[in-house]
């Protein structure tokens, strides 16, 4: 078995030449911005299946940024040296992966293989964007990285859950078999500017409804919990993992737990909406609880979230309001 590469602490790939797959998506675009701010050169690859060139329009004139339309399930070729591959290409919201089940499975399997092949070819560090969804509807709370999860592989959410679980296995195999310097980050619920109003996730849905004067649709009785992390905090954690030699899996998310009803009520307060809440049926396999144990990230990276929920929500509401006024 080949020796597994561990990047020296003096070498920070987040300041080198970085390939970001899915770079025109919500998280990918924020990663591209922060990488450029750190002085990195960024090659952003995106098929625009769920991402949008508008998410990176503000970067097009920045030195060191290149946007390439590319479907990673077809082929991935990047000329020149690469120090870091951040693999974030995938539909990530329930609306997307329920409408695009085959595409979700392909990008998690074939696309991950192509991105790992690029990292192997270039001798680059590789970071897989995995998800808290690998824990399914968890029977262990909070969720630690050594928990194997409780996932329904044939349920409607299974295409996303299993694509990510397969991606983790493939990433691990490339590390142990080929010596590729890999890491796995398990991302918990994240919110912030540039989320799509109709992507189906709770926070953008609630904000869109509140700004439109519509009742907020809360699934079930709203007692199910989520732990929501502002995007700036998440990006800082991801790049902290990328910059060190730790292989993961590593949870990155805010360990503060909120009920879905509380999130809705806070959105109502932040927007001044008078429309109230209406309750709808819970989706199939909707997790009852979700909260990361972030002990590993705190110990290895010195990471913890900085942005309080109220502040992050205010920033997000203001962005949505501005975007709605521009499109009106």
Catalytic residues: 160
Backbone angles phi, psi at 290, to 5 degrees: -160, 115
Q: Report the DSSP beta bridge partners of residue 258.
A: 226
Torsion of CA 124, 251, 226, 141, to 10 degrees: 150
Is the preceding peptide bond at 19 cis, omega within 30 degrees of 0?
no
Integer CA distances (angstroms), 24 to 48, 176, 304, in order: 7, 31, 26
> Which residues neighbour 124 within 8 Å (Cβ) at sequence distance 6 or greater?
13, 19, 82, 83, 84, 85, 118, 181
Q: How far is residue 106 from each of residues 19, 161, 165, measured CA to CA in Å?
A: 20, 13, 13
Closest CA to 191 of 320, 21, 288: 320
Q: What DSSP state is assigned to residue 249?
A: -
Cα separation, 104 vs 89, in Å, equals 9
The gap between the terminal CA atoms of the chain, to the nearest Å, is 59
3-class secondary structure, 128:
strand
Q: Which residues of 285-303 are buried (b: 16+ CB within 10 A; e: fewer)?
A: eebebbbbbbebbeeebeb
């Amino acid at each position: 078995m080949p020796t597994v590469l561990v990047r020296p602490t003096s070498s920070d790939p987040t300041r080198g030449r970085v390939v970001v797959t899915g770079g025109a998506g919500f998280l990918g675009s924020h990663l591209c911005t922060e990488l450029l701010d750190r002085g990195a050169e960024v090659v952003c690859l995106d098929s625009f299946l769920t991402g949008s060139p508008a998410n990176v329009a503000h970067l097009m004139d920045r030195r060191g940024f290149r946007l390439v339309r590319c479907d990673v399930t077809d082929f991935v070729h990047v000329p020149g040296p690469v120090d870091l591959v951040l693999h974030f290409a995938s539909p990530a919201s329930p609306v997307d992966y329920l409408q695009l089940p085959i595409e979700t499975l392909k990008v998690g399997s074939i696309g991950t293989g192509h991105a790992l092949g690029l990292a192997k070819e270039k001798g680059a560090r590789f970071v897989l964007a995995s998800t808290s969804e690998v824990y399914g509807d968890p029977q262990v709370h909070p969720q630690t990285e050594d928990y194997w999860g409780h996932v329904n592989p044939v349920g409607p959410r299974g295409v996303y859950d299993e694509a990510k679980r397969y991606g983790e296995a493939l990433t691990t195999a490339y590390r142990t078999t080929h010596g590729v310097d890999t890491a796995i980050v398990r991302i918990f619920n994240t919110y912030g500017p540039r989320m799509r109003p109709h992507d189906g996730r709770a926070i953008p849905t609630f904000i869109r409804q509140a700004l439109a004067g519509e009742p907020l649709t809360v699934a079930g009785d709203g007692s199910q919990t989520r732990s929501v992390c502002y995007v700036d905090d998440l990006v800082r954690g991801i790049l902290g993992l990328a910059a060190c030699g730790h292989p993961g899996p590593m949870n990155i998310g805010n360990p503060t737990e909120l009920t879905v009803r509380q999130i809705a009520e806070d959105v109502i307060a932040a927007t001044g909406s008078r429309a109230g809440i209406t309750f709808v049926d819970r989706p199939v396999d909707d997790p009852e609880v979700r909260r990361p144990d972030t002990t590993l990230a705190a110990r290895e990276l010195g990471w913890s979230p900085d942005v309080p929920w109220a502040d992050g929500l205010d920033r997000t509401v203001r962005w949505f309001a501005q975007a709605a006024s521009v499109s009106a």
